[in-house]
Amino acid sequence: NGDKIMEHDGTTTTASSRHNNNKNLDRVRCLWPPLGPSVSSACAWGKEEAAKRPILAIALGLTMWPAVIITATIGTPVVLMDGALQKAYGNFSEGPLGEQLERGAAEAYHAGKLSLVCGKLVLRQTSRVVSRQIRRRGGVGKIAQDIGGIAVDRALHPVETVGMAWNGLCWGVETVKNATVMVHEAVSREKEKASEFS
């Protein structure tokens, strides 16, 4: 319908356009963009530039006509095949299988994007903490001396070293598990929000 909806930023949109936007966010196209419009725009640009600079266009045509013929010979079947594939994919994407495929691709995309953002935040925070700890412990040279002393001490106590290594491994596995659960819950919340809008 054409009912207008007031958005949070003060703009107004129709219900149908809002539904289409949410649908686009919920699905991701799994095929490359059509080549036909790009070829048409390139030809139109070439025609305009040739009209502006006719002498240069004639010179380029006399010089590069073999390349133009080869490109047209190879490119025409490619564009026609691309058009057929785009049409077939358009019909396929309207079906239930295509919809599920695009929804799955959208979920993978959003999950990857969220993981990338979380990774950047963790890396930034880790670098800040490491820099602060290095300054607090007196610089890299002092830390290297401390590490050397710890290595000698652990070598003299192998049983305790094995126990500490095992505890550290268990702690790392538990940390990765908790982080995975947190990311999964965040992705689930985003999916629920997207389904509410759709």
Residue type, 32: W
Q: What is the pLDDT of residue 25?
A: 62
Q: What is the pLDDT of residue 198?
A: 58
- Distance between CA atoms of 26 and 106, rounded to whole angstroms? 6
For residue 99, name the pLDDT band (cuts at 50, 70, 90): confident
Distances, alpha carbon 23 to alpha carbons 20, 103, 179, in Å:
5, 10, 30
Phi, psi angles (nearest 5°) of residue 27: -135, 145
Report which of residues 173 and 140 the model is more confident about: 173
pLDDT at 115 over 60: yes
- Beta pairing partners, 4: 14
Prediction pTM value: 0.41
